[in-house]
Amino acid sequence: MALKQFNLLSFIFILALISLSPIGQAKRNTPSDKKPSPFEFIKTVQGCHKGNKTKEIHNLKKYLHKFGYLQYPNQTHANNDDFDEALESAVKTYQRNYNINPTGTLDATTVSKMTTPRCGVPDIINGKNTMQKHGTKEHESNSSSKHIHTVSHYSFLPGNPRWPRSKTHLTYMFSANTPAAAVGPVSRAFQKWASSTHFTFSLAQSSADLVIGFHSGDHGDGNPFDGRGGTLAHAFAPTNGRFHYDADELWSVGPVQDAFDLETVALHEIGHLLGLGHSAVEAAIMYSGIGAGVTKNLHPDDIQGIKSLYNV
Ligand SMILES: *[C@@H]1O[C@H](CO)[C@@H](O)[C@H](O)[C@H]1NC(C)=O
Ligand SMILES: *[C@@H]1O[C@H](CO)[C@@H](O)[C@H](O)[C@H]1NC(C)=O
Ligand SMILES: *[C@@H]1O[C@H](CO)[C@@H](O)[C@H](O)[C@H]1NC(C)=O
Ligand SMILES: [Zn+2]
Ligand SMILES: [Zn+2]
């Protein structure tokens, strides 16, 4: 009896703790420790173009390398501040992917796009530009009525990895360090994907197909997070199943100023878990950028992508 009472009390105590807990790093969100975003430096190279040599160019090269746009065989060129031909070409590819006039100059539009917080999964993987694959493929229900056609911009990850045909039910679980507040939003995101695809999902206690966790900085998978802002999350292609949130972000349930919506980010990362790459459609959940205080839902482009990948 005494034991039962203790269990009940500790249960209530834990419940109280959970409901009082800030999500992620919310308690640190005071104006005094507002650090600049890891992408903030890009503002200092606005206006730069080929031939310029400016302090932060080497960091821009790192940024474009991280997201797959730039590869130097010679490390001297990778680490210097010369706005060279290779960098110009990378900037142009970035601009084409994000529907910006491909001038190769870091104009305000390009800088604004590049400084948007985003998913850590690259846009170009092993030389495959995931944002262009279907960029020119038009689903012409009728090609002679040009203004009616819709252009599909979803993409697959390199090699089109996907879950086996028979595996339409996937289980998921959370790593031990997951804030309790994340469980609901992630589960809702799975239910949204389930209601629009042939997949079903359920929560498991162990050995699940998909594992969701919160990680900080370098966490051992070769894709270090970068603190507040910058990259927000990443996930691996089928059938790896790992989905990591950046634990240093300010996370929220629903739209909250300066915070990132757990469910919106989950919808995006689940897309990667199922095999989708980034989409050039800004309204699609698989678009790489995610604004603070913004919520998004699945878009026909995302659904079409899964249906096409799995031939359903
Ligand atoms: C870039 O180079 C141009 C000359 O081509 C120069 O006028 C401009 O000030 C340079 N910009 C920066 C940010 O260094
Ligand atoms: C790398 O580039 C630098 C500067 O252009 C050059 O001096 C060096 O010889 C190059 N190294 C190799 C291995 O090509
Ligand atoms: C496309 O539309 C035009 C006129 O709107 C029509 O004449 C033509 O037969 C249509 N083609 C197809 C393949 O549906
Ligand atoms: Zn992504
Ligand atoms: Zn990770």
* 201/272 same-domain check: yes
Rounded distance between C-alpha atoms, residue 79 and residue 265, angstroms = 32
pLDDT digits 0-9 by tens, 30-79? 444 567 899 999 999 999 999 999 999 999 999 999 999 999 999 999 99
Residue 169 CA to chain centroid, in angstroms? 23
What local confidence, expressed as pLDDT, does residue 197 receive?
Answer: 97
How many residues in the chain?
A: 312
Number of domains in the chain: 2
* 185/302 same-domain check: yes
Q: Enumerate the β-bridge partners of residue 139.
A: 150
pLDDT digits 0-9 by tens, 100-127? 999 999 999 999 999 999 999 999 999 8
Q: Which CATH number goes with the domain that contains 216?
A: 3.40.390.10
User: Which residues, including other chains, have CB under 8 Å from residue 296's CB and lie 6 or more apart?
Assistant: 261, 264, 267, 268, 283, 285, 290
What local confidence, expressed as pLDDT, does residue 23 receive?
Answer: 54
Q: Which CATH number goes with the domain that contains 70?
A: 1.10.101.10
* 189/70 same-domain check: no
Could you tell me if residue 18 is inside a domain? no
Could you tell me if residue 262 is inside a domain? yes
Q: Does 209 count as an annotated binding residue? A: yes
Could you tell me if residue 253 is inside a domain? yes
Q: What is the mean pLDDT of the chain?
A: 87
* 176/109 same-domain check: no
Final residue belonging to a domain, choices 115, 133, 149? 115
Could you tell me if residue 135 is inside a domain? no
Q: Which of 42, 52, 103, 111 to mutate to test the pocket of ligand 1 (most atoms within 8 A of CB)?
A: 52
Closest CA to 103 of 112, 91, 118: 91
Rounded distance between C-alpha atoms, residue 250 and residue 189, angstroms = 19
Domain residue limits at 279: 169-309
**Weakest-pLDDT range from 126-130, 138-142, 165-169:** 138-142
Say if residue 20's pLDDT is above 50. no
What local confidence, expressed as pLDDT, does residue 131 receive?
Answer: 86
Could you tell me if residue 124 is inside a domain? no
* 280/181 same-domain check: yes
Q: Enumerate the β-bridge partners of residue 210.
A: 172
Rounded distance between C-alpha atoms, residue 231 and residue 119, angstroms = 5
Cα-to-centroid distance, 217 and ligand 5 (Å) = 9
* 173/295 same-domain check: yes
Q: Which of 143, 145, 147 to mutate to test the pocket of ligand 3 (most atoms within 8 A of CB)?
A: 145
pLDDT digits 0-9 by tens, 185-218? 999 999 999 999 999 999 999 999 999 999 999 9
Residue type, 126: N
Atom of ligand 1 nearest to the CA of 49: 1
* 97/203 same-domain check: no
* 193/98 same-domain check: no
Could you tell me if residue 282 is inside a domain? yes
Could you tell me if residue 177 is inside a domain? yes
Q: Does 261 count as an annotated binding residue? A: no
DSSP letter for each residue of 82-137? B--HHHHHHHHHHHHHTT----SS--HHHHHHHTS-B-SS-SEETTEETTTTTTT-
Going by alpha carbons, the residue nearest to atom 12 of ligand 3 is 142
Cα-to-centroid distance, 107 and ligand 1 (Å) = 13
3-class SS of residue 182 = helix
Going by alpha carbons, the residue nearest to atom 3 of ligand 2 is 76
* 92/191 same-domain check: no
54 lines ligand 1 (CB under 6 A): yes
